[in-house]
């Protein structure tokens, strides 16, 4: 038995964004966001549900699943395994955009409904604390009272979750363990809540079409290439820094870092999985520089 690694946008949307996944998504959101008692989600509508032909043509996808809850608030959920410059700004921008575009011209502002951005990452974001889940709202800086509940940012750092399946206590642990480890398992763990159990079932590769498995493989290859490129840049930067220190040349360090960034961009171009604008955003190069690198590879 082999399961999809749900840390890819394709697999995540298949598990949580299909028409049949509503009970799973309700269970997951109630487990990881502070929805309790009367605030618990009882129903939701999945916006832009999982659709294979649409996914096949996607190069860049930021919002993996979007749902409108029973209280009319919106949750936008993103799985992100690659960090890049401006990532946190993009999350805030997309959240504010989803909030502001609810109204058409002339509508009253009191019709606006809350928007929650739930971002699941596979890298370190908040090194000032050990909390796996961090939530942010607009508050008074002195008294820490809420200004409004309409905008909320929730982050889950999978790298901070180190429990084994036997150590999991409660449905939140079961869900996080699934997100982080499903791709490495060969059997469904015992004693799971029904909603989590069905997540393993739907991510079982035995039930996938050849086309779905190909998409998943391509997604994983793309991620592996980018992670390898990032590691290569780090190594090149270390070599450049050492050389610069030895030679006492600050210019040597700057040139080494610049070449490392260009090498990352070249790998992204060769992967043919991202637009020039996205590559520029992730590498801090300009679109014109990306075009020049493309031309040099032809």
- Tens-digit pLDDT profile for the chain (298 aa)? 888 888 887 788 889 988 788 999 999 999 998 776 667 888 898 887 666 555 554 444 455 788 999 889 999 999 887 777 788 888 999 999 999 999 887 788 888 999 999 999 988 899 889 999 999 999 999 999 989 889 999 999 999 999 999 999 999 999 999 999 998 999 999 999 999 999 999 888 867 777 776 766 666 666 666 666 666 666 666 666 666 666 654 454 455 556 667 777 777 777 666 777 777 766 667 888 888 888 888 7
**Which phi-psi region, left, alpha or beta, contains residue 206 (left: φ > 0; alpha: ψ -120 to 50)?**
alpha
249 and 128 in a single domain? The answer is: no
**What was the pLDDT predicted at 237?**
64
Q: Which pairs count as long-range contacts for 78-81, CB under 8 Å and 24+ apart, including other chains?
A: 78/117, 78/118, 78/119, 78/120, 79/6, 79/7, 79/8, 79/9, 79/12, 79/120, 79/179, 80/119, 80/120, 80/121, 80/122, 81/7, 81/8, 81/121, 81/122, 81/123, 81/223, 81/227
| pLDDT of the residue at 286 | 83
The verdict on 87 and 165 lying in the same domain is yes
- Would you call 147 helix, strand, or coil by DSSP? strand
Q: What is the pLDDT of residue 292?
A: 85
Q: Is residue 3 part of a domain?
A: no
167 and 216 belong to one structural domain: no
Segment (H or E) for 214: helix 210-247
236 and 291 both lie in a single domain:
yes
Domain interval for residue 17: 9-208
Q: Is 285 helix (H, G, I), strand (E, B) or coil?
A: coil
Position 23 scores a pLDDT of: 93
The predicted pLDDT at position 58 comes to 46
Q: Is residue 257 part of a domain?
A: yes
pLDDT for 216: 66
Q: Are 137 and 168 members of one domain?
A: yes
pLDDT of residue 160: 95
Do 185 and 109 belong to one domain?
yes
Domain contains 2? no
- Judge whether 74 and 44 are in contact, CB under 8 Å: no
User: Which pLDDT value is given to residue 226?
Assistant: 63
Q: Are 92 and 238 in the same domain? A: no
pLDDT at 249 (0 to 100)? 46
**Distance between CA 62 and CA 219 in Å, rounded?**
14
- Do 140 and 279 belong to one domain? no
Choose the final residue of a domain: 208, 231, 265: 208
Spatial distance between the Cα atoms of 59 and 112, rounded to a whole number of angstroms: 31
């Amino acid at each position: 038995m082999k399961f999809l690694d749900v840390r890819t946008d394709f697999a995540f949307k298949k598990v949580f964004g299909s028409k049949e996944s509503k009970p799973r998504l309700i269970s997951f959101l109630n487990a990881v966001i502070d929805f309790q008692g009367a605030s618990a989600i009882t129903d939701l509508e999945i916006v832009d549900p999982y659709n294979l032909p649409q996914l096949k043509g996607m190069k860049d996808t930021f919002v993996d699943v979007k749902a409108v809850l029973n209280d009319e608030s919106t949750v936008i959920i993103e799985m992100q395994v690659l960090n890049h410059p401006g990532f946190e700004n993009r999350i805030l921008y997309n959240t504010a955009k989803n909030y502001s575009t609810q109204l058409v011209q002339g509508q009253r502002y009191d019709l606006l409904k809350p928007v929650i951005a739930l971002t699941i990452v596979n890298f370190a974001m908040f090194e000032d604390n050990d909390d796996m889940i961090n939530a942010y709202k607009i508050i008074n800086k002195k008294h820490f009272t809420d200004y409004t509940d309409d905008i909320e940012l929730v982050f889950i750092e999978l790298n901070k979750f180190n429990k084994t399946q036997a150590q999991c206590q409660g449905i939140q642990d079961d869900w996080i363990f699934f997100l982080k480890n499903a791709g490495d398992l060969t059997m469904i763990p015992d004693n799971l809540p029904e909603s989590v159990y069905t997540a393993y079932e739907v991510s079982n590769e035995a039930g996938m079409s050849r086309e779905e498995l190909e998409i998943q493989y391509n997604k994983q290859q793309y991620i592996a290439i980018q992670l390898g490129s990032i590691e290569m840049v780090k190594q090149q930067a270390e070599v450049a820094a050492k050389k610069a220190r030895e030679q006492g040349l600050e210019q040597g360090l700057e040139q080494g870092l610049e070449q490392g960034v260009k090498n990352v961009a070249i790998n992204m171009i060769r992967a043919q999985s991202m637009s020039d604008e996205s590559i520029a955003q992730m590498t801090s190069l300009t679109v014109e520089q990306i075009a020049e690198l493309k031309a040099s590879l032809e």
